[in-house]
Chains A and B, each alone.
Chain A
Amino acid sequence: MTVAVSRKTPKHETSNERSREVTAGQPLLKVENLRVAFGNTEVVKGISFSAKAGRCLAIVGESGSGKSVTARTLVGLTGDGGRVESDRLELGGTDLRTLDERTWRGIRGNEIGFVLQDALLSLDQLRRVGDEVGEPLKLHGWGDRRSRPERVVELLDSVGVPEPEMRAKQRPYELSGGLRQRALIASAIALDPRLVIADEPTTALDVTVQAQVLDLLAASKERGTAIVLISHDLSVVARLADEVAVMRDGEIVEYGETSKVLRDPQHEYTRTLIDAVPSEHTRGIRLVRGTTPSAPRTRRPIDRGRPLLEGRHLTKVYRGPDGVDRTVVDDVSFELFAGETLGIVGESGSGKTTTARIALAMLEPEGGDVLLRGEPWTTLSVRERRPLRSRVGVVYQDPLSSFDPRWTVERILADALSRGPNPPSGAAARKERVVELLEKVGLGAHQLEAGPLRLSGGQRQRVAIARALAPEPEIIVCDEPVSALDVSVQAQVLDLLTDLQDDLGVSYVFISHDLGVIHHMSDRVLVMKDGKVVERGTADDIFTRPQDPYTQRLLTALPRLEQAS
């Protein structure tokens, strides 16, 4: 995608456009000792940083680090009950601390653009995209009724929205996620603000779309805009940011040039975060570093004889609300051998989850079948299949919804144990086995009585893995098992999965949209697009010598840690 340079006609120049004679690198936003508290809880504990014109500062952290609160505070939207204190909070010489709401409104959109994670929530569903994008123009008295729509079309065009005239007339829900996010960025940069704050702008997006959005922000940076990027994803940071501040528990633990911080982290936490990013370099080693350098995995040999699970020419067709049939899985074949991990990677709508559900015999395919150890599996009747179900386990993306809200951890796991080949008899034996399972996944007896709601995201996914393991399956289908988790928790869960494979020899069908995770986990990989397998091969072949143009495009779009310039 090419990014057209802003095509402003001179007569439409805004006031700050003319005064934009700042040289790149000059501090624009200065923050010193910023503190934000809600009630008695301090969530931002005295942080200092500055954003410079034409440069991008990334604030990196996991959930609860205070990064989003910081972002909102910078635009005067801390939220109800938030108490803000600072020694300095300045935008190009203006003290932001003493502003009233009216003055803030004059600054937001005009001097500071704000891009949020979820464009669908940020854009009013009932208004046309053009009106939403043009809102800041109208608010700040730019142009008139006739010139504004023209400018909106220009803006949409400049952020790479195809057919901008038509898109401007549509409503947000008629646009894809990527187009919506681009429209939101168009709105944020409509008045060419000196500072753009982007809070997780690409988190909900597919990797190719993410690359386009990052390019847009980079182009805006080239034009002299200062960018504050809030993100949990170090790879994204590496691609865009010049400087990075690592936040944890409301404090900045490390702050410096991106390339320096990522190559040679000084703080232990930064190091943990960087180590936790799965990629080709982490294959075969654990992501969470212990006190000693982690030993390589001790894999059991993969049995390449007869496949354990074999899908043959699977096809699934859904009829859309418009009566048109859509082939969501189109002639997909795969085989999974004992002891290996088969990765299925693809963007949203590629049919990877549907393939998984067919493999689990949860969904009947229109064509093709799946064999389990060479025997029929999907073609069996429900009654014939039931006793075999314990041989194929499943871990879902959202563990919470996969637990009955009324059940305790003990009951969930005891129930799963009862499906295994040797179910425990008697309450004491059952409890012992449940505790054994919990310990296997890094939890303990004190979690027995907990309901799923009281567990953290990582703990829930561990319980989900324990449940899948309980009936001693040969295969576990993992459908995006870590995409809802923070990086460091994701690392723990991925380590747990590889450890269990080394211990028990279980095979995985591992589904993810995250190429790094797939490369880290898989022995062989299927790349899916629009329901078809476009490429298959060993992980190393796919990631180092991709043959299919789509795979090549995916890999080019993939942000990597080592891109830090």
Chain B
Amino acid sequence: MTSVAILSPSVGLHSLARFRARPSTVFSLVIVALVLVAAVAPGLLASGTPTQIDLTNALAPPSWAHPFGTDEAGRDLLTRVIYGTRLSLGIGLGATGIAMSLALVFGFAAGLVGGVLDTVITRVLEVFFAFPALLAALLVIAIFGPSVKTSIVAVGIGSMPGYARMVRGQVINVKQAGYIEAAHALGHSRWKVIRRHLFPNAMRPLVAVMTLGVGQSIVWASSLAFLGLGVPPPSPEWGALLDAGRLYITTSWWLEILPGLVIVLVALAVTSLGRTMQHRLEGASR
């Protein structure tokens, strides 16, 4: 690494070199990279298919042939976890995307317009906060029935209020900045000032928060699936794996523990990366 940095001391490599300084960040990067590979090309990491049934080998404990063991139908659990990545990550990204999009609309409306609209939106968000987020998500599922799409929408709506409140705070904060007034003093139109100064500066710290949200959303979607209200079986989505393994927990611990560990690790890695980004962005802004 050092030699590469000397050969081409570009800014990108320097910041990469700084990343290396923290082992936790490197570890998180490796995990996120693995997750991305599993999501894009699961075949590279697993040899078999997630639905290959081998009843003679059902509920086998972890071994060299099956590092995560097998489930009640003899399907290789590691393969299922790997193939489930795309779904789980998709739910995480999708849900965060939905949450953030809604939050931007509400947050900007409240923060920019202010006045009565701000009061109304803030009150509505407070009502949302008063509901347990899981309950809000359950409501969506009760209406539309469990499926991948409903999971995404449910988790997205459930986590929206937190983002919306953050967006509103950011908008109000940046709205009062000196450079906003300076831009107005130059005679720029309101819309131009919003587009060029307010939006990008308000969004800056939120990028990191969104990363944190992806990890959170994966956990949420898994909880829904575990309750049997998320992605229906036999899909290998991580929460669904946990739900399926619940029946055998007394005899086959690996069905619960190992996928659970994967969820925890991925959420931790994404969160840790988000925190690092947050620190770096905040450090750069002031």
How does the 8 Å CB contact mask read for A411-422 relative to B, with 1 for contact and 0 for none?
Answer: 000011001000
How distant is the Cα of A406 from the Cα of B183 in the complex, in angstroms? 14
Docked complex: B185-237 residues within 8 A CB-CB of A: 185-190, 196-197, 200-201, 204
Residue contact B178 to A402, C-beta cutoff 8 Å: yes
Closest to B176 in A: A401
* A387, A404, A471: the one within 8 Å of B179 (CB): A404
Is A185 an interface position by the 8 A CB rule?
A: no
Decide if A419 touches B186 in the complex (CB within 8 Å): yes
**Interface contact B178-A389, CB-CB below 8 Å:** no
Given contacts A382-B190, A389-B185, 20 further A-B contacts (CB under 8 A): A360-B185, A385-B187, A388-B187, A389-B186, A389-B187, A398-B178, A401-B177, A402-B178, A402-B179, A402-B182, A403-B179, A403-B182, A404-B197, A404-B201, A406-B200, A415-B183, A419-B187, A419-B188, A467-B182, A471-B187
Establish whether residues A394 and B200, one from each chain, have CB atoms under 8 Å apart when the complex forms: no
Please report the C-alpha to C-alpha distance between residue A362 and residue B186 in the assembled complex, in whole angstroms: 11
Return chain B residues, CB-CB under 8 Å to A404.
179, 183, 196-197, 201
The distance from the CB of B208 to the nearest CB of chain A, in whole angstroms, is 16
**Residues of chain B lying within 8 A (CB to CB) of residue A385:** 187
Contacts of B126 in A (CB 8 A): none
Q: Mark B157-196, 1 if CB is under 8 A from A, else 0.
A: 0000000000000000000011101111111111000001
Grouping DSSP codes into helix (H, G, I), strand (E, B) and loop, the B interface class, with mixed when no group exceeds half, is helix
* Most B-side CB within 10 Å, residue of A386, A402, A404, A416: A404
A415 & B186 in contact (Cβ 8 Å cutoff): yes
Which of A465-488 touch B at CB < 8 Å? 467, 471
**A389 contacts across to B, CB distance below 8 A:** 184-187
Interface residues on A, range: 20 to 34
**Closest B residue to A389 using CB positions:** B187
Please give, as numbers and ranges, the residues of chain A lying within 8 Å of B182 by CB-CB distance. 394, 396, 402-403, 467
B187 touches A405 (CB 8 A): no
User: Is B285 an interface position by the 8 A CB rule?
Assistant: yes
- The answer to whether B179 and A394 touch across the interface, beta carbons within 8 angstroms, is no
A469 CB, nearest partner CB in chain B, Å:
12
Return chain A residues, CB-CB under 8 Å to B185: 360, 362, 389, 392-394
Interface residues on chain B, size class: 20 to 34
Interface centre among B182, B190, B197, B285, by most chain A C-beta atoms within 10 angstroms, is: B182
Please measure, in the bound complex, the distance between the C-alpha atom of A489 and the C-alpha atom of B130, giving whole angstroms.
55
Bitwise, A370-403 to B at CB < 8 A (1) or not (0) is 0000000000001001111110111010100111
Smallest Cβ-Cβ distance to B197: which chain A residue: A404
Write the A297-326 contact mask toward B (1 if CB under 8 angstroms, else 0).
000000000000000000000000000000
B-side contacts of A402, CB under 8 Å: 178-179, 181-182
8 contacts across the A-B interface (CB closer than 8 A): A394-B185, A396-B178, A401-B177, A402-B178, A402-B182, A405-B285, A419-B188, A471-B186
Chain B residues with Cβ below 8 Å from A386 are 187, 189
| Residues of the B chain whose Cβ atoms lie less than 8 Å from the Cβ of A392 | 185
In the complex, A165 Cα to B200 Cα: how many Å? 53
CB distance from A384 to the nearest CB of B (A): 11
Contacts of B189 in A (CB 8 A): 386
A-B residue pairs, 6 tightest by C-beta = A389-B187, A401-B178, A402-B178, A402-B182, A404-B179, A419-B186
Query: Residue of B at shortest CB range from A411?
Result: B196
What 1/0 mask marks residues of chain B from 219 to 257 whose CB sits below 8 Å from any chain A CB? 000000000000000000000000000000000000000
Interface residues of A (CB under 8 A from B): 360, 362, 382, 385-390, 392-394, 396, 398, 401-406, 415-416, 419, 467, 471
Inter-subunit contact A401/B187 (CB<8 Å) = no
Q: Which residues of B contact A398 (CB under 8 A)?
A: 178
Instruction: Write the nearest CB–CB distance from B129 to chain A, whole angstroms.
Output: 26
Q: How near does chain A come to B88, taking the closest CB pair, in angstroms? A: 34
Complex Cα spacing A470 to B74, Å:
74
Residues of A with C-beta under 8 A to B204: 406
- B260 CB to nearest chain A CB (Å): 41
Which A residue sits closest to B198, measured CB to CB? Answer: A404
Cβ of A160 to closest chain B Cβ, rounded Å: 37
Flag whether B22 is at the interface (Cβ < 8 A). Answer: no
Q: Please state if A387 and B187 are interface contacts (CB–CB under 8 Å).
A: yes
Q: How long is the Cα–Cα vector from A387 to B188 in the complex, in angstroms? A: 9
Min C-beta distance of A390 to chain B, whole Å = 5
* Contact pick for A416, options B186, B190, B285, CB 8 Å: B186
Are A406 and B201 touching (Cβ within 8 A)? yes
- With contacts A406-B200, A406-B201 taken as known, whether A401 is within 8 angstroms of B179 at the C-beta atoms is yes
In the complex, chain A residues whose CB is within 8 Å of the CB of B201: 404-406
- CA distance in complex: A362, B177 (Å): 14
Answer yes or no: B286 CB below 8 A from chain A CBs: yes
User: Which residues, 123 to 150 on B, are CB-close (under 8 Å) to A?
Assistant: none
Which residues in A have their C-beta under 8 angstroms from that of B187? 385-390, 419, 471
A394 / chain B contacts, CB cutoff of 8 Å: 182, 185
**Shortest CB distance A196–B (Å):** 36
Cβ of A405: which chain B residues have Cβ within 8 Å of it?
179, 201, 285-286
B residues within 8 A CB of A387? 187
Q: Give Cα distance in the complex from A151 to B73, angstroms.
A: 87
Most chain-B Cβ atoms within 10 A of its Cβ — which of A382, A390, A405?
Answer: A405
- A407 → B minimal CB distance (Å): 8
Would you list which residues of chain B between 28 and 64 have a CB under 8 Å from chain A?
Answer: none
Tell me, in angstroms, the Cα distance from A416 to B177 when the chains sit together.
18
- Given A386-B189, A404-B201: A362 touches B179 (CB 8 Å cut-off): no
Tell me which residues across on chain B come within 8 A of A471, comparing CB atoms.
186-187
A396 to B184, CA, bound (A): 14
- Min CB distance B272 to A, Å, is 26
Task: State the CA gap A404–B285 with chains docked (Å).
Answer: 10
Residue of B whose beta carbon sits closest to that of A383: B189
**Separation of A401 and B185 alpha carbons in the complex (Å):** 14
Nearest-CB distance from A392 to chain B (Å)? 8
Q: In the docked arrangement, what's the CA distance between A396 and B285, Å?
A: 20
Tell me if A362 and B200 are in contact (CB < 8 A). Answer: no
The residues of A that contact B188 with a CB separation of less than 8 Å are: 419
